Amino acid sequence: MGSIILLIVLGLVALIQLYPLIWLVLVSFKDNAEIFGGNVLGLPKVWRFSNYKDAFIGGKAGVYFLNSLLVTAVTIIVSDILIATSSYAIMRMRWKLSKLTLTIILLGMMVPIHSTLLPLFIILNKMGILNSYLALIIPYVAFALPMGIFILTGFVRGIPFELEEAACLDGCNIYHTFFRVILPLLKPALATVSIFTYLSSWNELMFANTFINSPKLKTLTVGIMSMAGQYTTNWGPIVAGLVIATLPTIIIYIPLSNQVQKSLMAGAVKG
């Protein structure tokens, strides 16, 4: 009896959690008259698939989607490489100032992202890379490093030294040891870091709205915002654009959810 009650309660909690997503999808098929006419919560009277066509073609959501995909993918790849190699170098290599270097990197977690807007704008302007993909990728990677290194240093600390000693006895140099022994063990942690980096890069608005002016380079968040008119706004295509922006997050998280859970459990045990 207790298990049945627990299943019912968990089912209700799951429904409450999923309903905003279901509501978002339903609204994406409606027009303004239906949204503001009292049918905002129910099924659409007419399923307007044209809203997605308007979002992709008229609203250029397809172009914005590809821009966000490119920026986010490059950010994840570059940041994962830097985070993994830096964490290994700090925790395993013996060199002076390694602890100080880790402390300085972790201090980056205390820097509010909004406070860096003006300095970054001046630096990127002097470098001549404003209004380009690099204007977003470089700051995104920089802000992903502190949290990622914080997570991965904890995992590297928990890996036994004997594994690396055995690899050295087998003739592996430091690069072979890292890529063949250490890196496979870091996959759960890297999956977690990748998801955090993805969420922060994919959903970022302030930098993308400030550093990018060209319509051809706008990311999805800025593009959806620009779909709102000055006097009138057709909310159906805008909500369709929000659905387009949300789906990749769900698709990416589903195959990586197990890795994230393993990462969190391992981190809890090591802590």
- Burial class, 106, CB count within 10 angstroms (exposed 0-12 / middle 13-18 / buried 19+): middle
Phi–psi pair at 150, nearest 5 degrees: -60, -40
- Inform me whether the pLDDT recorded for 268 exceeds 50: no
Which amino acid is located at 226 in the chain? Answer: S
**pLDDT tens for residues 25-68?**
988 898 888 888 777 778 888 888 888 888 888 778 889 999 99
**pLDDT tens for residues 56-65?**
887 788 899 9
pLDDT the model gives residue 136: 95
pLDDT the model gives residue 15: 86
Q: Which two tokens stand for residue 56?
A: 């992709």
- Inform me whether the pLDDT recorded for 269 exceeds 60: no
- Rounded to an integer, the average pLDDT of 63-91 is 94
**pLDDT tens for residues 235-265?**
888 888 889 888 888 888 777 766 666 655 5
pLDDT the model gives residue 168: 85
pLDDT the model gives residue 232: 63
Which amino acid is located at 64 in the chain? Answer: Y
What's the CA gap between 120 and 125, in Å, rounded? 8
CA 241 to chain CA centroid, Å, is 18
pLDDT the model gives residue 124: 93
Share of the chain above pLDDT 70, in %: 92
Please, which residues have CB within 8 angstroms of residue 30's CB and are 6 or more apart in sequence?
A: 39, 40, 44, 48, 51, 236
- Rounded to an integer, the average pLDDT of 96-106 is 89
Q: What angle do CA 133, 135, 137 make, to 5 degrees?
A: 65
Domains of the chain, earliest start first: 1-48 (no CATH), 65-270 (1.10.3720.10)
pLDDT the model gives residue 271: 43
pLDDT the model gives residue 36: 82
**pLDDT tens for residues 155-164?**
888 888 888 8
- Inform me whether the pLDDT recorded for 72 exceeds 90: yes
Contact yes or no for 236/32 (Cβ under 8 A): yes
What's the CA gap between 134 and 204, in Å, rounded? 15
Q: Which two tokens stand for residue 92?
A: 């395993």
Phi–psi pair at 105, nearest 5 degrees: -65, -45
This prediction has a pTM of 0.85
Please, which residues have CB within 8 angstroms of residue 211's CB and are 6 or more apart in sequence?
A: 120, 121, 124, 130, 131, 135, 136, 139
- Inform me whether the pLDDT recorded for 223 exceeds 80: yes
- Rounded to an integer, the average pLDDT of 73-98 is 91
Q: How far is CA 53 from CA 60, 173, 238, 241, 249, in A?
A: 10, 55, 11, 10, 21
